Copies of this chain bind each other. A is one copy, B any other.
């Protein structure tokens, strides 16, 4: 709403009318945010350097000043999404009360993150981690550190804490990828149309499936997630470690 007459004097360098409003300077952060937004809006398969450049009003080549490669871009997207966990008021960096409450809050936070970015979460779950012992989806060193620290502060031995980290990771990975898969998200290396025909005609040869299909089709992901999470909590805890860590 700036008064246009301010630049009306002869010879004044007038802001070109055709210029895009989002002509903010290019930064790595702006690029990553734009990439996440593009993935959320149009799916991972729409994210190309050229398309992202277009989204930012710039040629693709300009991005290379801030992002060394497409692969680095994807790593940055993962980091950006995972960092949202720090902003989740329901999730605490360290236990406030019991370790169970801490783990439950963290699990639900990661699930919210997955459901908020269903097209990006597969990247969080599957990009090669920085080190082999970093296990998705809790893949930032800072989170791993505070997860382990948090359990130690609640009386876990080092071995028990490591064991819990492993079990918690595979619990989250399995449940969340299955949930997204059922939502029709392509969690895999290539993008494609969603579920084709539910295949009622294919069920002719499978009488039991034909009978159970309605029950199988009912989703109870909330309940399943909480049930499995509580089963997990029951078998973790101080003094339950049985896998050596030396």
Q: How far is the CA of A74 from the CA of B186 in the complex (A)?
A: 13
Q: Among A132, A152, A218, which residue has the most Cβ atoms of chain B within 10 A?
A: A132
Contacts of A216 in B (CB 8 A): 133, 162, 165, 245
What is the bound-complex CA distance between A174 and B195, given in angstroms? 22
A159 CB contacts on chain B under 8 angstroms: 215
Q: Does A129 contact B (CB under 8 A)?
A: yes
Contact (A126, B187) CB under 8 Å given A199-B131, A244-B220? yes
Cα separation A173 to B173 with both chains bound (whole Å): 7
Check A239 for interface membership: any CB of B closer than 8 A: no
Q: Is the CB of B195 within 8 A of A144?
A: no
Interface segment out of the listed A1-9, A99-107, A176-184 = A176-184
- Judging by beta carbons under 8 Å apart, are B190 and A145 in contact? no
Assess whether A128 is in contact with B228, with CB atoms less than 8 Å apart: no
What string of 1s and 0s marks CB contacts (under 8 Å) between A204-239 and chain B? 011011011111111110011001100100010000
List, in ascending order, chain B residues with CB within 8 A of A215's CB: 158-159, 162, 245-246
**In contact, A145 and B206 (Cβ under 8 angstroms):** yes
B128 touches A192 (CB 8 A): yes
A56 at the interface (CB under 8 A from B): no
Distance (whole angstroms) from the CB of A222 to the closest CB of chain B: 10
Q: Within 8 Å of chain B (Cβ to Cβ): is A136? A: yes
Task: Tell me whether B130 and A199 are in contact (CB under 8 A).
Answer: yes
A194 within 8 A of B: yes
Among B133, B166, B231, contact of A213 (Cβ-Cβ < 8 Å): B133
Contact residue among B123, B135, B149 (Cβ-Cβ distance under 8 Å from A178)? B135
- Chain B: CB-nearest residue to A192: B71
**Contact status A208-B152, CB under 8 Å:** yes
Question: Separation in Å of the A198 CB from the closest CB of chain B?
Answer: 5
Contact surface of A with B, Cβ cutoff 8 Å: 44, 70-71, 74, 122-123, 125-133, 135-136, 141-142, 144-145, 148-149, 152, 158-159, 161-162, 165-167, 169-175, 177-178, 181-190, 192, 194-196, 198-199, 202-203, 205-206, 208-209, 211-220, 223-224, 227-228, 231, 235, 242-246
Q: List 16 A-B contacts (CB under 8 A).
A: A128-B181, A128-B188, A128-B195, A131-B198, A131-B213, A133-B216, A135-B181, A136-B181, A141-B206, A149-B208, A158-B215, A169-B178, A188-B189, A215-B245, A223-B243, A227-B243
